[in-house]
Amino acid sequence: MDDISQERVHKVVENLPCPHCRKPIEYTLAHAGRAGKCPSCGEDVRMPGRDLAVLEEVRDLLAKICNMAVVLIILAILQFLLFIVSR
Ligand SMILES: [Zn+2]
C-alpha cells in the first residue's frame, strides 16, 4: 500500500461516542465494521461500517419517499371520492 492510500485509510472518519462511557472515540476507515476496544474504558466497541451507514441512509430516504407516496395516494383517493360525491 502506498503512502497516499495509507493516509486515506487512516484518516479519521468520525467521532463515535462510546456506548459504555460516552467518550468520543475517533475511528478511521481502517476500523470501520470492526470490533475494537474503547481507549477510555477498555470495553469492546464495534465501529460502524461505512457501507452500513450508507445503506441506513438509503433505507431512511426510501422510507421517507414511501411515506410521501402513501400520503399522495390517499390525497388522490380523497379527491376522487370528493369528485364522485360532488357530481
Ligand atoms: Zn468507553
Provide the residue-wise pLDDT of the chain in tens; the chain has 87 residues. 456 555 655 666 677 788 899 998 887 777 777 788 888 999 988 877 766 667 778 889 999 999 999 999 999 999 999 999 988
* 8 A C-beta contact, residue 52 and residue 33: yes
* Single pTM value for the model: 0.40
pLDDT attached to residue 10: 62
* 8 A C-beta contact, residue 25 and residue 8: no
pLDDT attached to residue 6: 59
Q: Which amino acid is at 60?
A: D
Q: Which residues contact 37 (CB under 8 A, 6 or more apart)?
A: 43, 44, 45
Ligand 1 centroid – CA 45 distance (Å): 8
Ligand 1 centroid – CA 18 distance (Å): 5
Ligand 1 centroid – CA 56 distance (Å): 24
